[in-house]
Amino acid sequence: MEGWLKALIAAACVAVLASAGYFFWNERKSALAGKESADCETLIRVVLKERPERGTPMFNAASSCLSDGRITQDRFDELVRQTR
């Protein structure tokens, strides 16, 4: 087999492996983001129910869910309405 053909096959293999890695990495990130959002919703429900003081670790963790963008303001407002 000629050298250029071997290089072409090697480049095609690298492209396929890179594409598969990119796809599965994005799927993993999406799955983790969904889990973090669900965890944040549970934490916010607990905070709204127990009403800990500001500055406590539980309060800070719940507020970081909103500030880090793991849960939207609309979803937060909906959780507040559900607990009233």
The three-state secondary structure class of 70 is coil
- Compute φ and ψ for 56, nearest 5 degrees: -75, 155
Task: Name the token pair of 27.
Answer: 């799927």
User: Domain locations in the chain?
Assistant: 22-83
Percent of the chain with pLDDT strictly greater than 90: 25
Q: Quote the DSSP letter at residue 68.
A: T
Q: What is the mean pLDDT of the chain?
A: 84
pLDDT tens column, 15-50:
999 999 999 998 888 887 778 888 888 888 888 888
What is the C-alpha to C-alpha distance for residues 57 and 59, in angstroms, rounded to an integer? 6
pLDDT of residue 36: 81
Report the distance separating Cα 79 and Cα 72, nearest Å: 11
Helix axes 73-83, 3-50, angle to 10 degrees: 30
Question: Which carries the bigger pLDDT value, residue 83 or residue 75?
Answer: 75
